[in-house]
Amino acid sequence: MRLAHLHIPNLIPFTHASRLQQTLVSRLLTYKKLSDLSDSQPTLAPPDPTILTFTPYPVYTTGRRDLPPPSDTSISHTTTKPPWLPAPLEPIRPILTASPPLAEYHATLRGGQTTYHGPGQLVAYTILDLRRLRIGPRAHIRLLEETVLDVLASHGVQGILSDDPGVWVAPSSTKAANWIENNAFAARKIAAVGVHLRRFVSSYGVGLNITEEPMWYFRQIVACGLEGRDATSLEGQGVQVKGGIEEVAKRFVQAFVGRLNEGTASGGVGPKIDEIFEIEEKDVLS
């Protein structure tokens, strides 16, 4: 099995990344629907699993937990200068409605609550057929988190997983083992994780902070609904990434494939990725 990697090297609008993601998701869903309708084996090969990596212009996004009930049809979630905002973003309305706005707002279907994406951050969306890979929803989340742990370790940073979502880093004066043992120290969040599944096709994924540029935006909100929890970045941990976000994106994809091929996520029964190949936007949107 092959895995495609689409990396966008320049800043892009969040809506453009969403369009790329939705196109990839639709391909997988269409293939699954045609396969269900076919009495025989499908003649076309399934679409390749794909990881989309990019950095958007400043944007706050909400997951399903911060949205009102779908029965409330009086509310629109699509405008970038909204008359309505979810409660966690109401305090920063001036940031979102300035002319020009300092950041946009977009609702998403991913799990979780409110977070920020923007310059200085790598966003990695995994568009996968989990059933084809023999991965369950919880194993998928853990696979993403452990991939981030591997990326951090490759830069000499020890990440931590806890009961709270995402990936964390213990204060520099604290050994991670001690933090894991008693949870008595204030770890900082270095990566957020949130996904969406439809017919076991995954979308969304990870936001990993590379530089300190996103920190001001994080300080304006209660990210992921966790009061009093600060964010950090690779730069904040003393790491200067020579190859920039593109280099981290490649490490993320390689680490993801490495973890997947270990077989832990699938219980040893899933297929292996034999090749990582790069694609371009035109391969998706043409």
Please check whether residue 74 lies inside any domain of the structure. Answer: no
- The answer on pLDDT for 79 being more than 60 is no
Domain at 93, CATH number: 3.30.930.10
Would you tell me how many other CB atoms lie within 10 Å of the CB of residue 269?
9
Question: Taking all residues of the chain, what is their mean pLDDT, rounded to a whole number?
Answer: 87
Please check whether residue 181 lies inside any domain of the structure. Answer: yes
CA 228 – CA 260 distance, rounded (Å): 34
Which runs of consecutive H residues, i.e. helices, occur in 211-276? Answer: 215-219, 244-262
Give the tens place of pLDDT for each residue, 108-143.
988 878 899 999 999 999 999 999 999 999 999 999
Query: What is this structure's pTM?
Result: 0.89
Please check whether residue 76 lies inside any domain of the structure. Answer: no
- The answer on pLDDT for 80 being more than 50 is no
Please check whether residue 72 lies inside any domain of the structure. Answer: no
> Which sequence positions are flagged as catalytic?
224
Identity of the amino acid at 75: I
Q: Which residues belong to the annotated binding site?
A: 110-117, 192-194, 205-207
Residue 124 lies in domain: 2-66+81-284
Q: Which residues belong to the annotated binding site for substrate?
A: 110-117, 192-194, 205-207
Nearest Cα residue to 8 out of 123, 143, 159: 123
Q: Domain count of the chain? A: 1
Please check whether residue 158 lies inside any domain of the structure. Answer: yes
Nearest Cα residue to 115 out of 237, 228, 217: 217
> Could you tell me the two tokens for 153?
């370790």
Share of the chain above pLDDT 90, in %: 67
